Amino acid sequence: MLTINEMECALRNLCAAEHFSFDIGLRVIKVVYTSRIHRHPAIVNEKFSKEGGTRLHCIHFPFTDLDKVCEYIAQKVGNLSGKTVQFTSTHKDSEECVRIIRDTLRVKMERVNDMRCHVKGTNFLLSNILDEVFVYDHHNVDCRYFFQTCLNSPHSSVYPYVLVNVGTGMSIVRVNSESDFEYIGGSHCGGGAFFGLAQLLIGSADMDELLVMAEDGDHRKVDSLVSDIYGMKYEGLGLPPDLIAGSFGKCSNTKFADQVKNDPDYRKDCIRSLLLMISNSIGQVVSLVLNNEKTNRLFFNGFMVRNHPIIMRTLSYAINFWSKGALQAHFLRHEAFNAAIGAMILGKERLENHGEVDIEKVSWREHYAGCSDLGRFVPRRPTDAAFRGEVLELDCADILMRPFPLLSPSVEYDPDTVDLNSDLAAREFWLTIMEESVHKMCSKAIESQHDSPTAAARADVVAKKYLEQLKLLRDKPFAYGTCNVRNLLDLREQIFQEHDFDDPFKLQKKLENDLAVRELPKVVTKLDGMDDVRERLAEATKGLLAGNVFDWGAKEVVKLMEGKEEFTFQKAMDVVPARPWLNDDLDEFLDASMNGGHKSIVVFVDNSGADVVLGVLPFAREFLKLGSKVTIVSNLLPALNDITFGELIQVMKEVTDRDELLKRHTEKGTFKIMHSGQGSPCLDMRRVDSELCKAVLDDKVDLVVIEGMGRALHTNFNAQFMVPSLKAAVIKTRWLADRMGGDIFSVVCKYEKPIVDLM
Amino acid sequence: MLTINEMECALRNLCAAEHFSFDIGLRVIKVVYTSRIHRHPAIVNEKFSKEGGTRLHCIHFPFTDLDKVCEYIAQKVGNLSGKTVQFTSTHKDSEECVRIIRDTLRVKMERVNDMRCHVKGTNFLLSNILDEVFVYDHHNVDCRYFFQTCLNSPHSSVYPYVLVNVGTGMSIVRVNSESDFEYIGGSHCGGGAFFGLAQLLIGSADMDELLVMAEDGDHRKVDSLVSDIYGMKYEGLGLPPDLIAGSFGKCSNTKFADQVKNDPDYRKDCIRSLLLMISNSIGQVVSLVLNNEKTNRLFFNGFMVRNHPIIMRTLSYAINFWSKGALQAHFLRHEAFNAAIGAMILGKERLENHGEVDIEKVSWREHYAGCSDLGRFVPRRPTDAAFRGEVLELDCADILMRPFPLLSPSVEYDPDTVDLNSDLAAREFWLTIMEESVHKMCSKAIESQHDSPTAAARADVVAKKYLEQLKLLRDKPFAYGTCNVRNLLDLREQIFQEHDFDDPFKLQKKLENDLAVRELPKVVTKLDGMDDVRERLAEATKGLLAGNVFDWGAKEVVKLMEGKEEFTFQKAMDVVPARPWLNDDLDEFLDASMNGGHKSIVVFVDNSGADVVLGVLPFAREFLKLGSKVTIVSNLLPALNDITFGELIQVMKEVTDRDELLKRHTEKGTFKIMHSGQGSPCLDMRRVDSELCKAVLDDKVDLVVIEGMGRALHTNFNAQFMVPSLKAAVIKTRWLADRMGGDIFSVVCKYEKPIVDLM
């Protein structure tokens, strides 16, 4: 039974809850609701002026706790009278549950078609959760989960895909588009047969117990293998000797059956055989049905499959075996919630909630900090195995995010340069550095709210929580999907925000921006005084790199910046080493720019202060002088000392007051600022604001500049674009310098022209 | 346990046994052997001069009787030392059986690949047994078996076909040609899973018991149906409400499982659910695998399937359901023996038995009289259910038989005009007439062996046996395949021969042939004296019909012939009614013949005596005069008073001594006699001597004449040919006259030109 405390942890923000939907299963119930959340004041934009954002809460809990959960919701949520709650169910006997929900919450209950819910919900998960899809490889002991994303290309779609639902039976649905799907097959052999026969054979239908037994059992004592029939040397049909020729074949003879039954391991062996019989059968039918389908996007879901290693393993094996390697089984991290989410979407469609967010029309991001189990592979509280509730939270981005349209169609885009799931040394380094830096970050956070009496206590909770999560990631790096620098940083950011530290570097950034804006005329005057255009652009590019030395995210720089002497822009210019740099394509970049190769450029910027003001703006001015259009792209949400869109608006106001050239181009529209929609020190090109995507195409951007360690080295270092790109950063950590074969403050100035696609 | 008496009935002619092969199954053992049998002296031909023919004996008996059967064989068969016996087995634990056979029979044992055996044996059955294939229709209470033959066209082949073997597991093999096959799929869900799970669930793996339980059980109490999940009104996936959504689904819940277990019918319901789970799974996998195959020849075999109505029913349903009606399940009457027969064929191939018959190079015919169960659908002795032995005997034709090459490719050939399985009135008539005539036939038989002291006693046994069989056919008309006049007559013939009445009409035929040969000049002289060619041919055609009045097979005629007055040819001419006849195409026939439309004719003849000598020969002479080639085709083996090839040779010798024209044409090769290879009053164009087939093509035959009731009315009345045909007969039974809307002695003179195939 769930305790009040557990319910509090799982069913959050109920006081601001809006709409509810339910998926009533035989064993587990899923509830989904939206709630209004406090929005970061750091976001300043007329578009986002309305108070608060939307969060989607998805929780599943045992069937037996329904009364308790409903009472808890009713108590917290206040009056829902007259509201309609959508539900879906894959069994007829859900009437009792429906009655409980209706009577306790005092709502109208409306049933929605379960298959439509499954499809809608799956579409939602695939379109919004990065690393939602994974392949399971049992034989890879280091890492059994290989994550994939369906969102990594502007040139392809998630459709068509095939959804296999293994519940009581098994059904196969082909999803052709957002709104079109089709039943293409199914089978009567599924979870019903497994639990039903297990119940009749050994008197238990307890999933956990049965799966442990299956894991331990030896089916070869029960089944007839090819070798049992033909011996080891048989080559008649080309079948491997350990292939199961007949499930339970050894039991069909009374004598053998008695032997089997008297075996102390009988129960285990029998359950394993049963599990294999059903998994193999599902794998075979799916492979055969998919012979005629033109997709290898094959997603399994349903309670039989849901993150059960032995089932994922046998299904993966069976799909591979029966399709002769042509197909691969894929699983979904959050498929448990797909029907309930689908019911929510379908319900909202029917209700036509004007003025409210249309779930399908905007993007959502996984709110790791609120999820119980970091992607379902880790029990929320390992000490409390009895609690079966699981939570997924997603935050509405309020905007629609899309893959950056200039990504190359010929190279698969992976934002992250290092995969911490497979790169053990890198993982250890990053987990350690994150652990070490948490207290420094917390002091910054307390400092940013020096007038709040709770700041210190909240910062303590943040540190404790983040350290706990890091510990867990050390053990189970696949908890978020593929572990990488990007999501270690995102998780930290989310935990700070969750504890009302909406922007720990707020004051620091303000201070540095003000300082840099005052410093700007000096830097500009120096450049404007240079006669040679090429030399001027070279100097501005060096300035871009020098600006990037200023970074509160890098330990080595923090040492410099906190040193006794004032750290000026000129000093930063001196820190930038003499050429040739570690990556030095400066000449090629200048050649191309001088020849008018870049008529429209977009610059993804990094830090506040000197970086953006003294590094990026003079660089931008040089391109404006050359006659190019320039768009500066910042983050939307706060992350470390990275400049946010709100801050950039403020900075530009002050700068254009003092800089005629920038003012003129701003008014002319040849210079503008936009945001990526993101809130991370890294840049994930799979999901940028769709308005930016549109602008980039409208402006015919022909140079993508990515600046800073997080955006150009930890991520995007290997990214390929359809237009030339400049990746510019100063290496400010010893580890990365070592990795890249350079020294601290080594310079990366990587200019690349698109790979010509011969296809 | 088998008794000595039972073994005697099943394992016949062991004293003349030659080669043995075994198929060692888990429950049943199949033994196949060849033996030399006494050949009918009626066959006179240099090709068949060697003493005796070959019979193939196929017996299956319970696994537990192996010792006993081996001892019985060893005792009867004499010394087999040094001989090699081929065996095949689909289970590894056959060593003990192999040892028993080896030590008891003192032979070498050689294992042959089971899949090759299955395929070889199935090829053999399909190529030799008419009505081997059937479709099972459970809902047709009158007749559930619909037989098909793979031999009915000279324009198509039995290949490719797909063989599904349901044993411990299930395997799917595509057979492309006599020697080429390929494994295309399989499953671990088969008999092993059924018996294994049944054993574990209810403690029994006894097939008979389980199938009775399955027949009685109600799976809806155990399984989750679509309606259990969605209610009756669900239309989401377009699935019928009574479809099984999840086998055993209702048992997966502990509460329901207890209810199920406490149900007095639990065992039955559970076994039915299990059977359906496995049948459906097999049906689905086979349908899916066959999606990509270009054949609907789908044959099921294996011990799970073997004539078990409930399994044939569920497999048929499943195949139809999963293939959406595109496929149909076919079964084989004798598939139990395919592996053992295959082992015999493969063994003979290896041994290169020079001088012995090559099983695959000649044709074989079902020896109904020696088969225990008339095609496996009828227990041999219903009173003795414990006896599980079953026998199939085939006789070697010593020649290769093939479909008649002039059969039309655009119309499916079915020899039989009336299907006694579906035509209840016809069945009743024919069974009664056969019962009534048996004693008359027996007197003829005793008369034919008046010097044998055992004749009367043997005739009694024949009468008793035949009456028994007719009784059985009244109850189970599908016993031979499709019941029809043809096989009622064949069965009678076989029983006579089995009891050494090789030719009951021998003396009668001799007498009438002699009489007719003496009468011939008178008939010929009359015709030769006519000037008008057309009138002469008309008269000869009328003579052909008059000759056909003479028939010991027709009760009404026997009355005439046994009457006090001598029944002369002239009197027969008078019996032929005035034109117009019942079918009267005489003018068209004469027109075509006069215009030289028939340059090469083949005449299938009927009775000895006046029919062939005074009817057919003068008719043939007219065509010889017109410049046509003529071939007279008789039976090879005796049947009633039909003339055999041996007798025809004798007759022709005597005739050509007296008839110059026939002598000249015989010497010139423009007149010849051949045989059909058959020994029945009916004519089955699916299997005629391949030498006749060759000659018909070489001679460019452009008219097929079929004469007599058996050949032209009971069979072939609807047959369509690629060349013109004349079907000529006098209706000599009241029943047939009534059926055809005529009177007794009505004339059928049906001349048809080929249907133009627009394809």
Question: Could you identify the residue written with the tokens 């207890």?
Answer: B258
pLDDT for residue B571? 82
Nearest chain B residue to A276 by CA distance is B188
Tell me which chain A residues have a C-beta less than 8 angstroms from the C-beta of B197: 197, 201, 248, 251
Q: What is the pLDDT of residues A49-68, one digit of tens each?
A: 456 788 999 998 888 899 99
Q: How far is CA B146 from CA B106, B307, B688, in A?
A: 44, 13, 24
Q: Are B241 and B302 in contact (CB under 8 A)?
A: no
Contact assessment for residue B749 and residue B726, using Cβ atoms and an 8 Å cutoff: yes
Residue B504: what are its φ and ψ, rounded to 5°? -60, -25
Bridge partner list, B135: B146
User: Quick one: B465 and B485 in the same domain?
Assistant: yes
Q: For residue B230, is it within any domain?
A: no
Q: For A695, left (φ over 0), alpha (ψ -120 to 50), or beta?
A: alpha
Identify whether residues B532 and B676 lie together within a single domain.
yes
Clarify whether residues A382 and A308 are in a common domain.
Answer: no
* Residue at B245 is within a domain: no
Same domain, yes or no, for A657 and A596?
A: yes
> Closest approach of chain A CAs to the CA of B189, in angstroms?
6
Residue of B nearest to A225 (CA): B188
Q: Over 50: is that where the pLDDT of A46 sits?
A: no
Q: How far is B88 from chain A (nearest CA, A)?
A: 11
Q: Are residues B457 and B602 in the same domain?
A: no
A160 preceded by a cis bond (ω within 30 of 0): yes
Strand order from edge to edge, sheet including A108-111: A108-111, A84-89, A17-24, A28-37, A53-62, A390-396, A364-366
- B244/A189 CB distance under 8 A: no
Residue type, B90: T
Task: Please tell me which of the candidates B192, B253, B281 has its beta carbon nearest to residue A189.
Answer: B281
Same domain flag for B173 and B149: yes
Structure tokens at B672: 């010849």
- Please compute the mean of the pLDDT values over residues A603-623 and round it to a whole number: 96
List of residues 6+ apart from A156 with CB closer than 8 A: none
Residue A469: exposed, middle, or buried by beta-carbon count in 10 A (0-12, 13-18, 19+)? Answer: buried
| pLDDT 10s digits, B130-169 | 888 999 988 887 778 888 887 778 888 889 999 999 988 9
Of A466, A498, A530, the last residue of a domain is: A498
Q: CA-to-CA distance for A136 and A140, rounded, in angstroms?
A: 9
B236 contacts in A (CB within 8 Å)?
113-116
Average model confidence (pLDDT) for chain B? 87
CB contact under 8 A, B246 and A193: yes
Mutate: best of A224, A271, A277, A322, partner B, most B CBs <10 A? A224
Q: Work out the pLDDT band at B729, boundaries 50, 70, 90.
A: very high
DSSP state letter for B251 = G
Question: Which helix (H) or strand (E) is B58 found in, with range?
Answer: strand B53-62
- Residue closest to A149 by CA, chosen among A434, A510, A416, A347: A416
> What residue type is assigned to position A403 of the chain?
P
Which pLDDT band holds residue A209 (cuts at 50, 70, 90)? confident
State whether B245 and A92 contact (CB < 8 Å): no
Residues B598 and B702 sit within 8 Å (Cβ to Cβ): yes
Three-state DSSP class for residue A400: coil
Please state the domain count of chain A: 4
| Identity of the residue in A239, A246, A270 whose CB atom sits nearest the CB atom of B190 | A246
Asked whether the bond before B681 is cis by omega within 30 degrees of 0, the reply is no
Minimal Cα–Cα distance from B200 to chain A, Å?
A: 7
Shortest CB distance from B252 goes to which of A199, A228, A247? A199
For B199-222, what is the mean pLDDT?
Answer: 89
DSSP structure string for A107-137 = -EEEE--HHHHHHHHHHHHHHH-TT-EEEE-
Asked whether the predicted pLDDT for residue A493 surpasses 70, the reply is yes
DSSP state string for A242-293: TSEEETTGGGSSHHHHHHHHHSTTHHHHHHHHHHHHHHHHHHHHHHHHHTT-
Say yes or no: A477 and A589 in one domain. no
Nearest Cβ partner of B92 from A205, A230, A285?
Answer: A230
Domain end, chosen from B498, B519, B548, is at B498
Its domain, for residue B487, covers 427-498
CATH of the domain at A486: 1.20.1700.10
> Could you tell me if B323 and B342 lie in one domain?
no
Domain endpoint, select from B305, B331, B357: B331
Summarize the confidence of residues A178-203 as an average pLDDT.
Answer: 92
Q: What is the CATH number of the domain that holds A201?
A: 3.30.420.40
With beta carbons less than 8 A apart as the criterion, state whether B32 and B21 touch. Answer: yes
What does pTM read for this prediction? Answer: 0.86
Cis peptide before B580 (omega within 30 of 0): yes
Q: Under an 8 A CB cutoff, do B245 and A193 touch? A: no
Nearest CA in chain A to B324: A185
If asked whether residues A205 and A305 sit together in one domain, one would say yes
Contact state of B90 with A227 under an 8 Å Cβ cutoff: no
Assess if residue B122 is contained within a domain.
no
d(CA B97, CA B81): 18
| Residue of B229, B277, B285 with shortest CB distance to A92 | B229
- The residue among B252, B261, B263 with the most chain A CBs within 10 A of its CB, best to mutate, is B252
CATH code for position A543: 3.40.50.10880
Distance from CA of A697 to the nearest CA of B (A): 42
Take residue B125 and report the two structure tokens written for it.
């059955």
Which residues of chain A does B251 touch, with a Cβ-Cβ cutoff of 8 Å?
Answer: 195-197, 199-200, 205
Q: How far apart are CA A557 and CA A481, in angstroms?
A: 31
Share of chain B above pLDDT 70, in %: 92
Render B618-676 in DSSP notation, one character per residue. Answer: HHHHHHHHTT-EEEEEEBSS--TTBPBHHHHHHHHHHHHHH-HHHHHHHHHTSEEEEE-
Q: Which residue of B has its CA nearest to A287?
A: B288
Q: Beta A390-396 vs A53-62: how paired, if at all?
A: antiparallel
Contacts of A187 in chain B (CB under 8 A): 281, 284
Taken in order A109, A111, A114, A115, the sign of the CA dihedral is negative
Put simply, the answer to whether A252 touches B280 (Cβ < 8 Å) is no
Nearest to B116 by CA among B166, B31, B182, B162: B182
Separation of first and last alpha carbons in chain B? 59
The sign of the CA dihedral B1, B5, B6, B12 is positive
User: Taking CB atoms and an 8 Å cutoff, what residues of chain B touch A113?
Assistant: 236
Q: Is residue A624 part of a domain?
A: yes
Considering only residues B395 and B349, tell me which one the structure prediction assigns the higher pLDDT: B395
A218, two tokens = 């030896």
- The CATH code of the domain that includes A384 is 3.30.420
Q: Which residue has the higher pLDDT, B41 or A432?
A: A432
**Same structural domain, A483 and A581:** no
Q: Are the Cβ atoms of A189 and B223 closer than 8 angstroms?
A: no
Structure tokens at B402: 């093939």
CB atoms B247 and A205 under 8 Å:
no
pLDDT tier at B308, thresholds 50, 70, 90: confident
Query: Is A357 a residue whose pLDDT tops 70?
Result: no
Dump the DSSP string for B693-734.
HHHHHHTT--EEEEESHIIIIIBSTT--BSS-EEEEEE---H
Task: Residue B189: list chain A partners with CB under 8 A.
Answer: 189, 246-247, 277, 281
Helix, strand, coil proportions of chain B in percent (round to 5)?
45, 20, 35
Chain B residues near residue A244 by CB distance under 8 angstroms: 169, 188
The verdict on A434 and A392 lying in the same domain is no
Residue A27 CA to residue A10 CA, distance in Å, equals 18
In chain A, whose CA is at the least distance from the CA of B259?
A200
User: For strand B84-89 and strand B108-111, is the pairing parallel, antiparallel, or unpaired?
Assistant: parallel
Strands A53-62 and A28-37 come out as antiparallel
Mutation target among A27, A96, A197 for the B interface, most CBs of B within 10 A: A197
- DSSP H or E run through B426: helix B424-448
Q: Strands B671-675 and B688-689, how do they pair?
A: unpaired
Inter-chain contact A193–B224, Cβ cutoff 8 Å?
no
Q: Mutate one of A88, A195, A201, A252 to test the B interface: name it (highest B CB count within 10 A).
A: A252
How far is Cα A199 from Cα B201, in angstroms, rounded to an integer?
A: 10
- Over chain A, what is the mean pLDDT? 87
What digits encode the pLDDT tens for the residues A381-413?
333 333 345 788 999 888 999 999 999 988 889
Residue labelled with tokens 């098909």: B148
Contact A247 B188 (CB under 8 A): yes
Chain B hits for A193, Cβ within 8 Å: 246-249, 277
**What is the pLDDT at residue B504?**
86
Q: Which residue of A has its CA nearest to B24?
A: A229
Count how many Cα atoms sit within 13 Å of the Cα of residue A582 in the half-sphere of its side chain: 21
| Domain-embedded: residue B123 | no
Work out the burial of residue B454: count CB atoms within 10 Å of its CB; fewer than 13 is exposed, 13-18 middle, 19 or more buried. Answer: exposed
B279 and B151 in a single domain? The answer is yes
Nearest CA in chain A to B171: A245
Q: What is the pLDDT of residue B460?
A: 95
Higher pLDDT, residue A596 or B73: B73
Q: Cα separation of A225 and B326, whole Å?
A: 33
Q: What average pLDDT does this structure show over B118-132? A: 92
Distance from CA of A90 to the nearest CA of B (A): 6
Residue B643's contacts (CB-CB under 8 Å, 6 or more residues apart) are: B509, B513, B605, B606, B607, B608, B611, B612, B634, B635, B651
Q: Is residue A413 part of a domain?
A: no
Query: In which band, very low, low, confident or very high, does the pLDDT at B44 lie, cut at 50, 70 and 90?
Result: very low
CB atoms within 10 A of CB B669: 9
Is residue B169 in a domain? yes
Average pLDDT over every residue of B281-289: 93
Q: Among the ranges A91-95, A312-316, A602-606, B63-67, which has the highest mean pLDDT value?
A: A602-606
Compare B45 and A548 and report the one with higher pLDDT. Answer: A548
Task: Quote the CA–CA distance of B187 and B175 in Å, as a whole number.
Answer: 18
What is the least distance, in Å, from the CA of B356 to any CA of chain A?
Answer: 29
Cα A180 vs. chain centroid, distance in angstroms? 26
Residue of A nearest to B256 (CA): A196
Domain assignment present for B444: yes
Cβ proximity of A283 and A315 under 8 Å: yes
